[in-house]
């Protein structure tokens, strides 16, 4: 099986031509990441992804992680993962996005997105460990005390210690108000944590010296619901004053889940305060204020949601590479047009070609959309102008549920097509195509299901602000549409399809604004179809921008075959994806009542 | 985990109100299968499916089959399968569709479809064994010599011997022209068979006394390509003149595949003539004429394709039942409309409701379409009027690729939604929802991929006859549309949506007829989107017919809540599925060129 190869050409195109990497590299603090440096970072990341992470993807899937009862419950990673992780942190990758103050590289989100995409494509199970650590670092950077930062951040940034997020409990999944884990304050200012958490990614493993658990729990006097949840840091091993590791804390992985995919990633049931190491309770310290835990978690969660969108992108790219390689090499049947002699590779068959183009065009649209949102994220943090920062932040807030929801749902469709391209071989595990489908399946669920994303999109991100930001995006898309329509041929046709897509979005936004609040349930039936529509149209917008750049390059005499291919890929996207827009709008606008009307017992 | 419960109410509704079971039971030879008898058959099948087959579905998935090197390679089924199979044949189920002359029950296809749906829903892996045997029985009934029939059919119909189809070779998947297996004629009229076959379902197992392999191979003087393929019967154990079992034939399962799903079903690599039991070659006899093997196989294949469509239906129904049970019992979060107090079951959340209604409405549409095609199949065989037989046969021929392609693709979407309804629990194998997704994945591939079905649909079934049959279907759908539009409210809205769907089909048919032959490659890019469109619209037609029946019942004073639920389900289908029709037509008509235009090396 061929290893993953980072799609550097398209990545550079998106970074430079669509997401303005040079502009980002002019923002304060990002000055070193322009041109050559960006290229060097991507090259090194590509090499590491192909050479170290990718070869462990299949073997990790087969070997899975191993839970052992020793030491109160521990996890052993699949062969090769410990060594790969050591190489990963030795090369300094773990701190790629972290503050240089704690030893991080401080990469712009834009460049970080490309780097993350590679790791996720190469080995999703592996990539989740640094992803969780990054989230924990971010939460501590933003909300931790100076003592907590000094104690944890240097080792976490370096990667000697990893991080986790402990939110879910059996009765508290999407509804965090139902959390029951308890935190009892002690005379010394620490807390004792009691409770069980489930679905804890990398809750235990043998790749790092320590694991820093961030845990949501309730203090004794906390108000009910989400307003009574606090955030605690609970290390696996307590940390002595001199920074050395102390006693084993009462936080154990008591079992692991048997999952459909990401087999090499430990998904743990964590017990806090059950073993009684210290006479009851795991020892933790409060992060920030009491009862403000959810707010801190949501800061992490937004970054995590964006990253899960990138997981979708990574899997989609890899599934495409795998299917394309097979389609090129598998010879079966004759050319239906009769133009080619003898038997041909299946990549020549129209339906296989259609599937490959669906995979390719959507993956490119996903990449362009995700990276452009990452660039806005950088501008929101670093732009010198406050108004520009606010606008970019609003753009990011609007787009995060789209990136999370649309990229992951589409990745599942793409991985599904990848199996189909392989025919019968796709169903055989040794082929490898099925793993992408199994691995992708979690991405529409964790960090908030697609339904949760879609409700966030129509409620908090659109209705609550009267659609201000989405209308700005619509205006930007209309400008691209106008540019496209000024051209002829393919480009004009793309502009026309984009125009119909934008009109569909406008119709839905008006519907959402009119109905949300008065008849929220009916409007909410259309939330996921609307999220899909937003994804398709915003992806089409980016593909339209890409086609305009390609057209300009061709007009300037650039003979690179990449540019005509980009234009025809954008045209395919218009014919096969943007064509769905009007139907989706119809479902959003009309489809609410019939979903709710049926009597529950008649389901 | 709850066991499968056959949806008897909807089955009876479709059988009686939409597919005219009473009319079928008036056809010669089917007279005993009306009213009470049909009900008794369905009740018994339901009981067997829930009580015997369903409990082995999860345990079989986990235990998988076991291959052993003993006896030249043999397969051991998971615990409980042998006993279940014995009960199955003791109860006479194996011969449900076979000719009474050989001990079969001779059930009409219509009733048989409902029975098959139950087995497939209860345990897809198990159901494939009798499915393959049925296909082999049908091939021998139609094409075997009297001696072959006498030798094999009684035991196969009874189920003491099972059957297989041996088509695929490593280099010959969708392209059977590439088959290389050899058949060398012997002086005694038998043949010696040499070659390897892959993906052989139930190629070996320990549930029956003998296995009757039907094998495609080439005789020494055969012309190249599909015109030189002959069909042979090659039993695992040779049969003595007195009907007792003789020597072990040289046909061995040399390995089994490690698959994404249907883990309890052995998918075998079969070696013919490798072991040298008889000095070279497995002993076989020719079925029918030399070089006509593909024709005989296609007879079986059409029945098999219809049945694979039913597999999709069965899995969809079961995934829906599983998700619905979870959604009713899982309490999480508040009612978004604020009307219900406290926390509510997730079935109350609009997006979960939307997913459940997508599962329910499409499953019902799939059932109505499949059963109506089965009724046409019965009419094609038994109608006293030759013209009526011919019309029904044409309808069946047109619809088989739709039933195979659309039901299986939709089943995959439904099983995917079933996982999503479960949230994080859906990704955990113990929950059971993921198994349906894994099992469903093969159904769009075997017996001809969706791409193969779609090419069959637009080429052989539409273009070759100038669209005659599809135009008849369009006229029938237009009549239903007109009836729907005469009513008011929901029913009228369904009629309007159906009308737009039919217009989309018409547009595509005109496009196919205009382009097929001259520019087949471009038209073929739209084949799968067109198949999807046909499925959605024909399913919507059946849902419209169902709504009309329900309306009439309500008007007649029938207070059964089933009828208003059917109407709102049909309305939901119109809003969420028929709404896609125009976009699909646009893709079919416009989307060919951009798929083919890109340079192959730029994929």
The beta-carbon neighbor of B594 closest among A561, A575, A595 is: A575
DSSP 8-state class, residue A564 = H
Residues of A marked active site are found at 447
The reply to whether residue A347 touches residue B600, judged by beta carbons under 8 angstroms, is: yes
A83-96 pLDDT per residue, tens: 999 999 999 999 99
Pair A34, A111: CB distance under 8 Å: no
A528-543 pLDDT per residue, tens: 999 999 999 999 999 9
Catalytic residue among B447, B597, B600, B601: B447
Measured between CA atoms, how close is A382 to chain B, in angstroms?
A: 36
List of chain B residues whose C-beta atoms are within 8 Å of the C-beta of residue A453: none
* Selected residue with higher pLDDT from B339 and A262: A262
Q: How far apart are CA A474 and CA A538, in angstroms?
A: 9
Architecture of domain B54-91+123-291: Beta Barrel (2.40)
Quote the mean pLDDT of chain B.
Answer: 97
The reply to whether residue A357 touches residue B586, judged by beta carbons under 8 angstroms, is: no
The reply to whether residue B568 touches residue A424, judged by beta carbons under 8 angstroms, is: no
The reply to whether residue B351 touches residue A451, judged by beta carbons under 8 angstroms, is: yes
List of chain B residues whose C-beta atoms are within 8 Å of the C-beta of residue A586: 575, 579
- Report the relative pairing of strands B251-256 and B74-76 from DSSP bridges: unpaired
List of chain B residues whose C-beta atoms are within 8 Å of the C-beta of residue A451: 349, 351-352, 355, 420
What separation in angstroms does the CA of A235 have from each of A146, A159, A186, A312, B435? 17, 14, 17, 30, 37
- What b/e sequence results for B288-325 when a residue is b if at least 16 CB atoms lie within 10 Å of its CB, and e otherwise? bebbbbbebbeebbbbbbbbbbbbbbbbbbbbbbbbbe
Confidence bin at A281 (pLDDT 50/70/90): very high
What separation in angstroms does the CA of B149 have from each of B109, B136, B140, B248, B417? 22, 11, 6, 21, 45
The beta-carbon neighbor of A572 closest among B416, B426, B594 is: B594
The reply to whether residue B579 touches residue A586, judged by beta carbons under 8 angstroms, is: yes
Q: How far apart are CA A370 and CA A365, in angstroms?
A: 9
Percent of chain A with pLDDT over 90: 97
3-class SS at A193?
Answer: strand
Q: How far apart are CA A254 and CA B418, in angstroms?
A: 28
- Nearest-CA residue of chain A relative to B418? A441
- Nearest-CA residue of chain B relative to A333? B175
The beta-carbon neighbor of A580 closest among B174, B444, B583 is: B583
Name residues whose C-beta falls within 8 Å of residue A217's C-beta, 6 or more positions apart in sequence.
A179, A181, A182, A183, A191, A193, A194, A195, A229, A230, A232, A293
pLDDT at B380: 97
Measured between CA atoms, how close is B187 to chain A, in angstroms?
A: 35
The reply to whether residue A357 touches residue B598, judged by beta carbons under 8 angstroms, is: yes
Tokens describing residue B480: 């239903």
Percent of chain B with pLDDT over 90: 97
> Which position has the token pair 């072991």?
B275
Measured between CA atoms, how close is A387 to chain B, in angstroms?
A: 34
- Report the relative pairing of strands B66-68 and A251-256 from DSSP bridges: unpaired
A524 pLDDT more than 70? yes
B263-297 pLDDT per residue, tens: 999 999 999 999 998 989 999 999 999 999 999 98
Q: Which of B105, B74, B20 is nearest to B202 (CA)?
A: B74
Strand partners of residue A271: A196, A252
Q: Which long-range contacts (CB under 8 A, 24 or more apart) does A460-466 make?
A: A461/A397, A461/A398, A461/A401, A462/A398, A462/A509, A462/A512, A462/A513, A462/A516, A463/A512, A463/A513, A463/A516, A463/A517, A465/A394, A466/A513
Name residues whose C-beta falls within 8 Å of residue B556's C-beta, 6 or more positions apart in sequence.
none
Measured between CA atoms, how close is B311 to chain A, in angstroms?
A: 16
Measured between CA atoms, how close is B522 to chain A, in angstroms?
A: 7
**Residue B212 class from Cβ within 10 Å (0-12 exposed, 13-18 middle, 19+ buried)?**
buried
Tokens describing residue A445: 């669920």
Task: Tell me which H or E stretch contains A251.
Answer: strand A251-256
Q: How far apart are CA B410 and CA B526, in angstroms?
A: 18
Strands (E) in A258-372, as ranges, are: 267-272, 282-287, 331-334, 343-345
A170-196 pLDDT per residue, tens: 999 989 999 999 999 999 999 999 999
The reply to whether residue A438 touches residue B260, judged by beta carbons under 8 angstroms, is: yes
pLDDT at B298: 84
- Nearest-CA residue of chain A relative to B323? A603
Domain parsing of chain A, residue ranges: 54-91+123-291, 449-594
The reply to whether residue A587 touches residue B575, judged by beta carbons under 8 angstroms, is: yes
Mean predicted confidence (pLDDT) in A313-326? 98
pLDDT at A1: 66
DSSP 8-state class, residue B172 = B
pLDDT at B361: 98
List of chain A residues whose C-beta atoms are within 8 Å of the C-beta of residue B525: 350-351, 353-354
Pair B402, B534: CB distance under 8 Å: yes
A364-421 pLDDT per residue, tens: 999 999 999 999 999 999 999 999 999 999 999 999 999 999 999 999 999 999 999 9
Q: Name residues of chain B where pLDDT drops below 50.
A: none
A288-307 pLDDT per residue, tens: 999 999 999 887 888 899 99
- Nearest-CA residue of chain A relative to B595? A354
Measured between CA atoms, how close is A278 to chain B, in angstroms?
A: 33
List of chain A residues whose C-beta atoms are within 8 Å of the C-beta of residue B592: 350
- Nearest-CA residue of chain B relative to A428? B259
Of the listed ranges A95-99, A584-588, B152-156, the least confidently predicted one is A95-99
Tokens describing residue B6: 């056959």
Mean predicted confidence (pLDDT) in A230-258? 97
Pair B520, B559: CB distance under 8 Å: no
B369-385 pLDDT per residue, tens: 999 999 999 999 999 99
Pair A143, A287: CB distance under 8 Å: yes
The reply to whether residue A575 touches residue B569, judged by beta carbons under 8 angstroms, is: no
List of chain A residues whose C-beta atoms are within 8 Å of the C-beta of residue B449: 420, 423
Name residues whose C-beta falls within 8 Å of residue A162's C-beta, 6 or more positions apart in sequence.
A129, A130, A132, A133, A156, A202, A205, A207, A208, A210, A211, A212
pLDDT at A35: 82
Q: Which of B354, B266, B227 is nearest to A588 (CA)?
A: B354
pLDDT at B1: 66
The reply to whether residue A445 touches residue B420, judged by beta carbons under 8 angstroms, is: yes
Q: Which of B359, B335, B431, B331 is nearest to A174 (CA)?
A: B331
pLDDT at A34: 84
């Amino acid at each position: 099986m061929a290893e993953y190869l980072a799609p550097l050409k398209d990545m550079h195109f998106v970074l430079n031509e669509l997401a303005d990497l040079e502009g980002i590299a002019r923002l304060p603090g990002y000055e070193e990441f322009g041109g050559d440096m960006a290229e060097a970072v991507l090259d090194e990341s590509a090499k590491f992804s192909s050479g170290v992470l990718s070869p462990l993807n299949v073997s990790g899937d087969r070997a899975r992680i191993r839970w052992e009862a020793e030491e109160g419950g521990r996890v052993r990673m699949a062969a090769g993962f410990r060594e790969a992780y050591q190489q990963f942190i030795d090369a300094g990758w773990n701190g790629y996005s972290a503050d240089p103050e704690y030893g991080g590289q401080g990469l712009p989100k834009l460049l970080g997105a490309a780097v993350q995409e590679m790791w996720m494509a190469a080995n999703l199970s592996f990539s989740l460990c640094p992803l969780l650590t990054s989230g924990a670092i971010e939460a501590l950077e933003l909300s931790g005390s100076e003592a907590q930062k000094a104690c944890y951040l240097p080792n976490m940034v370096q990667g000697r210690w990893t991080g986790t997020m402990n939110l879910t409990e059996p009765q508290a999944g999407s509804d965090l108000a139902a959390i029951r884990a308890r935190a009892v304050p002690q005379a010394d200012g620490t807390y004792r944590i009691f409770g069980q958490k489930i679905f804890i990614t990398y809750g235990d493993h043998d790749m790092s010296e320590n694991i820093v658990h961030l845990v949501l729990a309730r203090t004794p006097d906390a108000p009910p619901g989400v307003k009574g949840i606090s955030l605690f840091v609970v290390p696996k091993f307590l940390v002595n004053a001199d920074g050395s590791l102390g006693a084993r804390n009462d936080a154990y992985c008591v079992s692991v889940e048997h999952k459909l995919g990401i087999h090499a990633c430990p998904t743990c049931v964590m017990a806090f305060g059950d073993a009684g190491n210290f006479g009851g309770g795991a020892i933790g310290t409060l992060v920030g204020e009491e009862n403000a835990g959810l707010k801190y978690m949501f800061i992490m969660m937004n970054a995590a949601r964006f990253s899960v969108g990138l997981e979708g992108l990574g899997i989609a790219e890899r599934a495409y590479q795998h299917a394309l390689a097979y389609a090129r090499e598998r010879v079966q049947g004759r050319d239906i047009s009769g133009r080619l002699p003898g038997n041909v590779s299946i990549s020549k068959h129209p339906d296989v070609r259609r599937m490959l183009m669906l995979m390719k065009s959507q993956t490119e649209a996903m990449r362009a959309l995700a990276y452009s949102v990452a660039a806005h994220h950088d501008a929101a943090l670093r732009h010198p102008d406050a108004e520009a920062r606010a606008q970019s932040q609003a753009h990011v807030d609007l787009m995060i549920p789209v990136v999370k929801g649309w990229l992951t749902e589409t990745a599942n469709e793409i991985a599904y097509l990848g199996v189909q391209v392989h025919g019968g071989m796709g169903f055989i595990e040794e082929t490898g195509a099925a793993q992408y489908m199994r691995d992708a399946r979690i991405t529409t669920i964790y960090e908030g299901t697609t339904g949760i994303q879609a409700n966030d999109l129509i409620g908090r991100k659109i209705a609550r602000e009267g659609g201000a930001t989405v209308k700005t995006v619509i205006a930007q898309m209309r400008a691209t549409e106008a540019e496209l329509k000024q051209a002829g041929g393919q480009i004009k046709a793309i502009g026309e399809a984009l125009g119909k897509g934008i009109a569909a979005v406008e119709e839905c936004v008006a519907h959402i604004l009119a109905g949300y609040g008065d008849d929220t349930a009916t409007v909410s039936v259309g939330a996921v179809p609307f999220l899909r529509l937003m994804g398709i149209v915003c992806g089409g917008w980016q593909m339209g921008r890409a086609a305009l750049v390609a057209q300009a390059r061709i007009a300037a005499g650039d003979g690179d075959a990449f540019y005509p291919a980009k234009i025809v890929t954008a045209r395919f996207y218009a014919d096969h994806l943007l064509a769905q827009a009007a139907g989706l709008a119809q479902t959003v606008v009309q489809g609410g009542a019939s979903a709710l009307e049926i009597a529950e017992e008649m389901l």
